[in-house]
A and B are shown apart, each in its own frame.
Chain A
Amino acid sequence: MSTDDLANELTRRTENAPQELLTRAFFFFCAVLSIVTTVAIIVLLTTEAAKFFSLTASLLGVEGQTVSLVDFFTGTTWQTSTGEYGVLPLVAGTLMVVIGSAIIALPLGVGTAIYLSEYASPRLRSKLKPALEILAGIPTVVYGFFALIYITPALGTVLPDIAFFNMASAAIVVGIMIIPMVASISEDAMSAVPDELREAGYGLGATKFDVSAGVVVPAAASGIFSSFILALSRAIGETMAVTIAAGSQARFLNPIDPTAYLEGAMPMTAAMIQLLTGDITGGGLAYRSLFAIGLTLFAITLLMNVISDLVAARYREEYE
């Protein structure tokens, strides 16, 4: 081939061929869509929530009923029929779910993770990990029903005062629900701990328990911590199980009073479902209050995810 032909051939552009351009454009479009989704969520939540609050609604020039920021964040009554939109009872309800589920899920989840990572044979682990995944795939409405039909009566045999709808069974069932999440992320973190650390422990004559509790868990601490945050963020956002189990009465309960868990209350997510199954009209104050709660929820969970990312990034750096 003459050199000129070669030069000619080398300058034959391929990257502008129609299928190259089309596919590249399609893939780029897909990626952009994920940004659009986030932006849409934020814009929607903030604009609708802005119409809810008197301070921002006047800035937007929106007419109609509004609620002041102070009333929303400090009010202790949530009663949409009388126009009382105090979010504290809902936040208290959510907090109770978080506290209760944390008491159940954190020790059990970490225990499961320690067992899987340190004690179980590889063969057993290969069977148990998919089982955990399947547990995580059970729909939340099923967990809710489980709480109502089994957990509440079971609690009733021990605590006769318990209400049919109560926070205890809601918190327990959410706890059960997030165990797989805690276990699987913690197990990943523990498996990432290098064997040399374990061998150092064994070399000093430590028992398996000493090594697990004294070496592996501290070394995987940031991963375990990040699993806690993610799981609790899931508990905060959990909707159907708590809606079914905890009822729809927005009581303002004290989350650190154990007897309060015997009563029913309404976490934030349950309040949203209750608003929707009630007769809300599009564009009304109740409709906008949905977005106000949604924005609060989104902000909390986003913050928790970011924190967990930062913590998890630390443990990845430590051992990779």
Chain B
Amino acid sequence: MSNEEPTTEARTSAPDRSSATTSVDAGEETSDRAAEPDRTIVEARNIDVWYDEDQALRDVSMEVPEKKVTAMIGPSGCGKSTFLRCINRMNDLVDAARVEGELLLGSKNVYDADVDPIALRRRVGIVFQKPNPFPKSIYDNVAYGLEIQDVEGGHDAIVERSLERAALWEEVEDRLEESGLELSGGQQQRLCIARAIATDPEVLLMDEPASALDPIATNQIEDLIEDLAEEYTVIIVTHNMQQAARISDKTAVFLTGGELVEFDDTRQVFESPQSQRVEDYITGKFG
């Protein structure tokens, strides 16, 4: 194995999440961020995924930069969602799924035998295609991650901050005890984002987060994603190429058969793709 083995000596230093924002490019413009030298947070090395006999991903390798928006696009069935779900091992919940290869979060291969998928998911948040708030109050929805991780003390401050970051606080400030299902679709999705970031994850995965929403709600989510990238690494799957072009710093293009055909800066991918197939896809010749 080529990655640095997780050292046992490191146990002494307690994780300090607040000090993680020392990255130089935090808070700057999206386009500028792309130019800076990046630190890799997620690295895939030769990932193959099978569902029973069907291969969903073929030999995917890529490096996702920290505190950037990385978009994954491609026609349906190309494996982009499958790849997303490899990162927090949601695929483990599917009995038939089998993953080979290495997927590094920081320096640790999350498919190592000693990694607990539940601990992993606590560090990698996910937002799904269809808004799926729990049938609980807005407050309890956001506090869910804190509850299950037994975070001590009051959650009020974290709930408020998460809702603020998800640009939802002003709309729900006075109705935190109402059911999350009372909200509109776009509000529900922002609630789900607030829920995902309440535990301060390393990486935020988004699986077509705006595809079930109307154009206005979609705009709000897109603005939110750009803001979130100041503090989080966002990996977003989308079938909407314009959306990827608008909000992402890096773009990965998956094509049928589960291959990662191109992965580069977003501008590069959309303006001068290396591969003919990607160009055909982007210009709408197929897919």
A7–B116 CB distance below 8 A = no
A15 contact from B106, B118, B120, Cβ within 8 A: B118
CB distance from A3 to the nearest CB of B (A): 3
Contact with A along B1-16 (1 / 0, CB 8 A): 0001011001101111
A7 to B115, CA, bound (A): 8
Interface residues of A in 8-25 (CB under 8 A from B): 8-15
Interface residues of B in 102-123 (CB under 8 A from A): 105-108, 110, 112, 114-116, 118-120, 122-123
B106–A7 CB distance below 8 A = yes
- A11 contact set on B, CB distance < 8 A: 6, 108, 112, 114-116, 119
Report if B20 contacts A (CB, 8 A): yes
Report if A2 contacts B (CB, 8 A): yes
- B122 contact set on A, CB distance < 8 A: 9
CB distance from A56 to the nearest CB of B (A): 44
B120 contact from A1, A4, A8, A10, Cβ within 8 A: A10
B13 contact from A2, A12, A13, A14, Cβ within 8 A: A2
- A3 contact set on B, CB distance < 8 A: 4, 106-108
Report if A317 contacts B (CB, 8 A): no
- A4 contact set on B, CB distance < 8 A: 6-7, 10, 13, 106-107
Report if B249 contacts A (CB, 8 A): no
- B107 contact set on A, CB distance < 8 A: 3-4, 6-7
CB distance from A252 to the nearest CB of B (A): 56
A179 to B39, CA, bound (A): 72
Q: With contacts defined as CB atoms under 8 Å apart, how many contacts are there between chain A and chain B in the complex?
A: 68
A7 to B7, CA, bound (A): 8
- A8 contact set on B, CB distance < 8 A: 6, 10-11, 15
B7–A9 CB distance below 8 A = no
With contact pairs A14-B116, A15-B116 given, residues A9 and B10 touching in the complex (Cβ less than 8 Å) = no
A6 contact from B114, B116, B202, Cβ within 8 A: B202
Report if B285 contacts A (CB, 8 A): no
A15 to B89, CA, bound (A): 15
CB distance from A19 to the nearest CB of B (A): 11
Report if A195 contacts B (CB, 8 A): no
A9–B119 CB distance below 8 A = yes
4 new A-B contacts, CB < 8 A, other than A1-B19, A4-B13, A4-B107, are A1-B17, A6-B202, A11-B119, A14-B118
B interface vs A, CB < 8 Å?
A: 4, 6-7, 10-11, 13-17, 19-20, 105-108, 110, 112, 114-116, 118-120, 122-123, 202
* 26 pairs from A and B in contact (CB 8 Å cutoff): A2-B13, A3-B106, A3-B108, A4-B6, A4-B7, A5-B15, A6-B15, A6-B105, A6-B106, A6-B123, A6-B202, A7-B7, A7-B108, A8-B10, A8-B11, A8-B15, A9-B119, A10-B110, A10-B119, A11-B108, A11-B119, A12-B116, A12-B119, A13-B116, A14-B119, A15-B118
A interface vs B, CB < 8 Å?
A: 1-15
Which A-B residue pairs are the 4 nearest by beta carbons? A4-B10, A3-B106, A7-B6, A7-B108
